[in-house]
A and B are shown apart, each in its own frame.
Chain A
């Protein structure tokens, strides 16, 4: 076992490089230092880092691993061996004298924090490394490294802290001075092959007795024991003619290679004491009683020693990044430091909480992914947006053509007083920005647009066509459309477009103390003719649910221009809008969570009689219409079929819109009578007496006509 292996004598000694391990507290501390202490200074700062013997890992068996490594012809390291780490944390900024923990070694280092990414890139890296190497060399020559051997492990860290993006650019170097000639390895064996159990136990105890943090040391040997001595005891310990035996705390787990800290130690041995051959104990023992993990490397240091006081040898030691390239690394602390990202995660987990605790079938991802178009950015629009946000909806587009007025902010929660000044900000944009103020993670957009309305001729027919096309584009780009405008006729075109595109439509309108929230049916081919307008008693009768206009026997027309101001600005009980908006959003969520989505069957009227009755789907019923009565603090669920003469969703209207597009819209805008003509309503009206319930009472001043 002790026999010299001649081929091995020739092998180059390779050192396991150190890998930096930075924990997030280091970056927190660096940010704080940068803001409170360093500011714009790029002066070199003293910091420190820690390394220790490797933690035990399951496959670790020094004897077996060394044997396996020896049979591998390749010079590459065995796979799946943990890296030798130098660790950085908030404590790296503490005074080195208090930083020492037991069973770990402290390395001193130099931090060079640059102020811009350009400075970081342009810093002369070669020279920076050389400066640190020169300090190590000086400490060897002065003897400082003998009384304080941790100086041999001095490192360099170059950083740039981008505190706006919470990114940290950095590059470590662990400078190693190069010998005159490469150092050779005679052999590397597990320590247990050379020393007895008693000797190894004595070594552990002796090292612990020296404080358990001595990074480099000398060894004395008897048959029973190995003793640890500080470097300054060289002349007492080493005897002329006897082999030199030294040790160092080795963070490496490699079975046949020593760790990086040994490099400068060997240079010191060569320079200070002229050592040409040494036995090195790569000390990897923990304080726990376990099998010895240390290895022994017998090394040869050929070539002439640089005389003391000579110029500093060349040095290497820049760390490679995760791709194995020589280059800087980047840490992204955004998830821990960026308030917007923190809010995002917190909101997401809060919603998941509902799923985890209450309802595993909740389709959170579907809800989040639903793109919502809010037509109208007044009271209803503001409250609907807030409720959508609470459900995790991340894409919300506001459409309005008004400006924020002084009466708005108290009722419309996305606006503030400042939004009303100087004539008022455009409502849609102000609502989008208000929503982002609540939650920056939302993609909120405001679109200033006039929705073409039957009976309201625009300035030019071209204008009408352009607006109609723009509205179509918007509806196409969203999954759900909320009708929240302040007039009945402004809902007609979006109803037609959404019906022809098969989009989900949620419609909400307010009276003084009553509200309507309804979903539009999804049109499947031509409507089955529905003979009467009477409320249905069985959902089996309904093949398609009606839209907002299905109960009408007159076409929507200009309902605003002939009214007095007080009719236009219909007053509602202030709490009503929040109730209706929340109901509208919950209706959307119930639709999204139903397997049939917008085609979910509506409940029978009787279903709402008993609120404690079980419901077919986890979120409950998916009603067609909810009519709320604040006078009685009660809601009524109504189910109404699609009407084959509907001015908005009937087959004939949809066909004409499909065929003529914006031209059809222009005709209707100029003359709403067209709708009554094509649907046959006019003919019918002469016979039937309309028993219309007037629901088109609106909140008021949001849309300027």
Chain B
């Protein structure tokens, strides 16, 4: 009995792989860039890049004054170059990786300036999204048992990523699954829409995925 209670809200590796594959299929049909990243000797994980049009100008990518100005010979202007206003964009990279320890998926993410690759901090990301991401420090966060964010090395890539700690995932998912009709085979979708709320108004999966 006890074991069964513990298993509620968790997901097996096999289920994860299976649901991830069908999510990628669905995304392909919807034209959304979810992909399954398969590396040798490593379990596959889900990946998505989101282009965020920054509401604020990111840190300049010009050389700091102290580094001196680099001169270039003026290029001949033949009038054939279209002058467009450069938009500043941030790339948000989101991974869903299965955790054997927690028996559930874990969200990893990072953000960087789309041009230079300069990483964007959590606060930077929050400020860049028009209308703002939810305030991670709000009282409401605790009230709703929102997960917390830590910085960890990516289990496959080995580079630093932000991650959402999975300690409450099973509990939250158990509640969500019991409140959802036709939840079968939709653990991953439901979980993504749940953890994805930290990026609101950016949606990781939208309602069409459930059709």
Contacts and interface: CB of A to CB of B under 8 A. Distances in A.
B80 A331 contact: no
Q: How large is the interface on B (under 10, 10 to 19, 20 to 34, 35 or more residues)?
A: 35 or more
A356 B142 contact: yes
Given A178-B76, A342-B151, A353-B148, 18 more contacts: A12-B80, A19-B115, A21-B115, A24-B159, A25-B159, A55-B51, A77-B82, A121-B68, A169-B67, A254-B84, A288-B29, A316-B75, A325-B62, A330-B64, A330-B116, A336-B159, A353-B150, A356-B142
Contacts of A288: 28-29, 31
B131 interface: no
Contacts of B113: 331
Interface stretch (B7-15, B101-109, B133-141): B133-141
B118 to A, nearest CB: 5
B61 interface: yes
B174 interface: no
B69 interface: yes
B72 A254 contact: no
Interface in A4-57: 12-17, 19-28, 55-56
Interface string B81-100: 11111111101000000000
Given A14-B81, A121-B70, A327 B86 contact: no
Contacts of B87: 80, 82-83
A17 B58 CA distance: 21
6 A-B pairs closest in CB distance: A77-B84, A331-B116, A329-B61, A14-B82, A22-B117, A360-B139
B60 A333 contact: no
Interface of B: 28-29, 31, 33, 51, 57-64, 67-70, 72-76, 78-89, 91, 110, 112-119, 121, 136-139, 141-142, 146, 148-151, 157, 159-160, 165
Interface in A404-447: none
A326 B76 CA distance: 12
Nearest to B168: A357
Contacts of B165: 353
A350 B150 contact: yes
Interface residues of A, number: 76
A331 B118 contact: yes
A327 B70 contact: yes
Contact of B67 (A16, A22, A117, A358): A117
A280 to B, nearest CB: 14
Interface in A43-83: 55-56, 75-77, 79-83
B142 to A, nearest CB: 5
Contacts of A169: 63, 67
Contacts of A346: 150-151
B80 A263 contact: yes
A247 to B, nearest CB: 20
Nearest to A257: B82
A85 B84 CA distance: 13
Contacts of A537: none
Interface in A281-329: 286, 288, 290, 314, 316-318, 320-329
Contacts of A121: 68, 70
Given A16-B84, A120-B70, A326-B72, A286 B31 contact: yes
B79 to A, nearest CB: 5
B73 A321 contact: no
A163 to B, nearest CB: 15
Nearest to A344: B151
Contact of B80 (A15, A286, A335): A15
